[in-house]
Structure 1
Amino acid sequence: MTIEAACPLPQGSDAPADESLVELLARARTVAVVGASPDPTRTSHRIAVWLMEHTDYEVYLVNPVAGDTEIRGHAFYAALEDIPVDVDIVDVFRRSEHVPPVVDDAIEVGAPVVWMQLGVRNAESAERARLAGATVIQNRCLKVEYARLADRIEAFED
């Protein structure tokens, strides 16, 4: 299997233009990491920790089987609907075929951004989220995009 087959390269249609990404990342205050893992070897764990350490976002961890574990003092929630605040970005660490119920939950809680991590794409779910008014990013890493645009995010003015 080629690298491209395992993790398709990002396409222009996977995300809005940089100007829009800067604005949505600058305006966001809360990120729910769906599929976050308590296992420090997992990418979802490392990205959640990076977001906690390198951004001002309130980070919420969502994993129905994580139980009473936590990451750096952040407890896990069983579902998006259990998070006690409005979520600005739903960061999805689930295989592409498992995205539809996550998008349904994101729509239900009114999340304005659905972000599918690198290697994750689901065209039908993306379209459903867009029709519900959400901005959709697919096959992009939130950490990579934030780090790439950090200077512009920090300089962003309303």
Structure 2
Amino acid sequence: MNLEQYLRQARTIAVLGAHPDPARAAYFVPEYLRRVGYRVLPVNPRFAGQELFGETVVAGLEEISVPVDILDIFRRSSALMEHLEAILELRPGLVWLQSGIRNDAFAQRLEQAAIAVVQDRCLMSVHRSLR
């Protein structure tokens, strides 16, 4: 997979674990992505109904009704499998696990379903390096 080409073509990024605290990566990474032109859909049950990145936060992936090009995940590696079914239903083109997040069994299940996965890399850093 050519990440540069994929990031150039993507328009919508859902962020699982989005957070309203500007000091947290789960805020400043999606805020950067919004500023460079992506539509960012925040997902976090703790903040459902609030507004983040110009969008209303939804409680779960199943509430997203538009196509998602990239699913950017800010969740502990051990919590990923609980989202697997919803991710398979959402069918994003790419699932991105942020820095420090890695789960090979999870990634393998997504790849078996023809969903590309990037593990343990910061989407903001990669995007900046490719610009």
Q: Structures share a fold, TM > 0.5?
A: yes
Q: Greater CA radius of gyration, 1 or 2?
A: 1
Asked if the contact 1:30/1:58 (under 8 Å) is kept, the reply is yes
CA deviation vs aligned residue, 1:90-111 (integer Å, no higher than 9, x gap): 0000011011123332111111
**Please, what is the CA RMSD of the aligned residues?**
1.2
Mean Cα displacement is larger for which, 31-40 or 115-124? 31-40
How many residues of Structure 1 are paired with residues of Structure 2 in the alignment? 131
Report the equivalent of 2:21. 39
Residues 1:124 and 2:118 are matched in the alignment: no
Query: What TM-score do you get using the length of structure 2 for normalisation?
Result: 0.93
The unaligned stretches of length 5 or more in structure 1 are 1-15, 151-158
Report the equivalent of 1:156. none
Report the equivalent of 1:143. 124
Alignment of 1:9-158 (within 5 A): 20-54=2-36, 56-150=37-131
Q: Give the deviation of 1:135 after TM superposition.
A: 0.7
Equivalent position SS for 1:65: helix
Report the equivalent of 1:8. none
- Kindly provide the amino acid, as one letter, of the partner of residue 99 in structure 1: L
Which of structures 1 and 2 has the larger relative contact order (alpha carbons within 8 angstroms, sep 6+)?
1
Query: What TM-score do you get using the length of structure 1 for normalisation?
Result: 0.78
The unaligned stretches of length 5 or more in structure 2 are none
